[in-house]
Amino acid sequence: MTTTTENQKAKEAYFTASQGQLIWARFKKQRAAMIAAMVLAMLILSGIFAPILSPYDPTIAGRDADYLNGAPQIPSFCDTNGCSIRPFLHTVTRERSLATNFRWVETINEDERRYMEFFVSGDEYKLFGLIPMDTHLFGMSEGYVHLFGTDSSGKDIFSRTLHAIWTSLQVGTMGVVISFVLALIIGGVSGYYGGWLDSFIQMVTDAIRTVPAIPLFMAIAAFIPPEWTAETRFLFISMILGLIGWPTLARRVRTHLLTERNQEYVLAAQLCGASGGHIIRRHLLPSFTSYIIVDLVISFPYMVLSETALSFIGLGLKDPVNSLGVMLQNVTSADVLLNYQWYFIPVIFFVALVMAFVFVGDGLRDAADPYSEANK
């Protein structure tokens, strides 16, 4: 009897649940999507709080002049002299050797320890661009610590990676917002009014879709003034990504509105004197909100990939801005591949970020139709 009652309550909860609740219930059943969502949340949080989590300002070169192209430093708790509650690093002496073609040779002095400290004062920054702070999660009592090593200019790769994640996410967000607004407006007008206006808009949409992205950016890069600041270039790249990314979503919006505009609730709104813009905004677009959200999530990795590709080939962001594409420029030489493999650590974070977005987007797409037989 108890089991029957529980089943009835479960069915009642299912049929009375909102669309968002049904999507969440379906999404939670997908293990890969849930793991990807947790990874994505961790990466986003690490980017948002990058100034606190990173020990140093990633734009300052030559901070640790004695540790250029230095290998990653992993703090330990024990050595030949015993163990410690606090993590520490040993003092490292570097010199160039003729036997190694004048490459750096490191000598570790295990009798000298440098202890790691937490919540230390360091470089000043503005959290969220508003709150002035100088507190960092960790640092060293003496010298520096480089968890991911340093690059050829002495910049800390760990700090650069966290800030690069946030920069790439910002570019992707701005690009997605611009393309989202354009897609809803253009696709909504095209699908609701139809006729010659729809034909004209679709001609423009097809023309934009046929424009190759890389040659377009190469042409634009040739006209970008060299005196532009990093912030101006950042905004410009975000706008361009958004302006060429709207046709796909606009097509889907148009297709949905073409099938929905003759429904009874639309005719009732028209008889009540509602304007076309009001009907599109208040009745038609909300009818497939979940699918729009899915499209937004799925389009994020493509925006991040576009920014990374453009910065990688030198057409996008440049130093001192830290983005994943800018950092990937450093891994193209054979010298890095053979001798400085830690330059590839940001690549791992780039792949994890893109794959997390892809898996979350696929999970949301599968859960977006909670009334289908597969989701019951």
Report the Cα–Cα distance between both ends of the chain, in Å, rounded: 23
| 283 & 169 share domain | yes
Of the residues 155, 177, 201, the one at which a domain ends: 155
The chain-wide mean pLDDT, for the chain, equals 78
pLDDT: which is higher, 54 or 321 = 54
Phi, psi dihedral angles at 246 (to 5 degrees): -85, -20
Highest mean pLDDT among 116-120, 246-250, 372-376: 116-120
Q: Mean per-residue pLDDT for 343-372?
A: 80
Tell whether 309 and 364 lie within a shared domain.
yes
Classify the C-alpha dihedral 179-182-187-190 as positive or negative. negative
For the cut 60, the answer to whether the pLDDT of residue 162 exceeds it is yes
Q: Would 39 be classed as within a structural domain?
A: no
Domain range holding 303?
Answer: 162-375
The model's pTM is 0.79
Q: Structure tokens of 184?
A: 């809803």
**Same domain (yes/no): 175, 273:** yes
pLDDT value at residue 39: 92
- Give the count of domains, the chain: 2
pLDDT at 373 over 50: no
Mean pLDDT of 94-116: 68
Residues 216 and 283 in one domain: yes
Residue 15's pLDDT is 56
Task: Please answer whether residues 283 and 269 qualify as being in contact, where contact means their C-beta atoms are separated by less than 8 angstroms.
Answer: yes
User: How many other C-beta atoms can be found within 10 angstroms of the C-beta atom of residue 44?
Assistant: 15
Q: Please give the pLDDT value at position 45.
A: 92
pLDDT in tens, 193-227: 888 888 888 888 888 888 777 777 777 777 777 77
ω before 226 within 30° of 0 (cis)? no
Kindly tell me if the per-residue pLDDT of 100 is higher than 70.
no
User: How far is the C-alpha of 90 from the C-alpha of 19, rounded, in Å?
Assistant: 57
- How far apart are the C-alpha atoms of 96 and 73, rounded to whole Å? 19
Q: Of 110-114, 257-261, 275-279, 316-320, give the lowest mean pLDDT range.
A: 316-320
Q: Kindly report, residue by residue over 167-202, the tens digit of the pLDDT.
A: 888 877 888 888 888 888 888 888 888 888 888 888
CATH no. for residue 250? 1.10.3720.10
H or E element in which residue 158 lies: helix 157-193
Contact yes or no for 71/149 (Cβ under 8 A):
yes
Instruction: Answer yes or no: do 116 and 210 share one domain.
Output: no
Q: Band the pLDDT of 133: cuts 50, 70, 90.
A: confident
